[in-house]
């Protein structure tokens, strides 16, 4: 067990242990502080007994690292949304007003960009 655990004055509720006389301060801890403390404890355990396999404690799916490739279903879903389901009607075919502008260095920029991957 790491030094941190031996020196720790607090249990997870944030209350001072009754039998400890070295520290008289009682500090209430919020959830973030508790999580930080818990992480330090886990790290201390992992470093002290590094030859023993320790299972990671995770809070949600994201941390579990779901690396399943969902791009196929996303693409199918995108295609289904592009399909027109409702009968639409409008009083226009083309939209947009027009602005014109000139650029001095357009050709040199296109040259640089055409060499990029």
Partner 1 sequence: MSNKNDLDELLGEDKKEVKNDKKPIEFKPGVGCDIGTSNIVVSRQSKDGTFVNKFYRNMLYPLDVSDESVDLLERSSYLYVKVDNKYYVVGDDALKLVNAIGKGEVVRPMKNGLLNPSLKESSELLFYIIKAVVGNPIVKNESLRFSLPANPIDQSIDNTFHKMLLNNFFIKLGYDAKPLNEAMAICYDCNPIMKSAEGDIPLSGISCSTGAGMFNQALSFKGLSLIEFSCTKSGDNLDEQVSKVTGVPIGKIIRIKERELNLEKIDMSDRVQAALSIYYDEMLDRMVHHICNEFKAKSSEMDGQIEIVIAGGTSMAPGFCNRLEQAIKRVDMPFKIYRIRHSENPFFSVSQGLCLRALADQKKKEAK
Which one of the spans 12-20, 26-34, 50-58, 91-99 is the region binding partner 1 (CB under 8 A)?
91-99
Q: Which residue is associated with the tokens 């791009």?
A: 71
86 binds partner 1 (CB under 8 A): yes
60 binds partner 1 (CB under 8 A): no
71 binds partner 1 (CB under 8 A): yes
Closest CA to 43 of 101, 96, 3, 98: 3
Please state the closest distance from residue 66 (CB atom) to partner 1, in A.
13
50 binds partner 1 (CB under 8 A): no
Q: Which string of b and e fits 63-81 if b means at least 16 CB within 10 Å? A: eeeeeeeeeeeeeeeeeee
- The Cα–Cα gap between 74 and 107 comes to 37
Which one of the spans 16-24, 31-39, 50-58, 97-105 is the region binding partner 1 (CB under 8 A)?
97-105
């Amino acid at each position: 067990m790491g030094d941190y655990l031996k020196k720790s004055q607090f249990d997870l509720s944030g209350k001072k242990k009754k039998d400890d006389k070295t520290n008289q301060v009682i500090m209430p801890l919020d959830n973030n502080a508790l999580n930080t403390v818990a992480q330090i404890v886990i790290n201390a355990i992992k470093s002290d007994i590094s030859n023993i396999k320790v299972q990671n404690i995770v809070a949600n799916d994201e941390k579990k690292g779901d690396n399943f490739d969902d791009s196929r279903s996303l693409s199918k879903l995108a295609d289904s949304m592009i399909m027109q389901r409702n009968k639409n009607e409008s009083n226009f075919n083309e939209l947009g007003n027009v602005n014109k502008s000139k650029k001095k260095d357009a050709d040199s920029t296109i040259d640089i960009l055409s060499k990029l991957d």
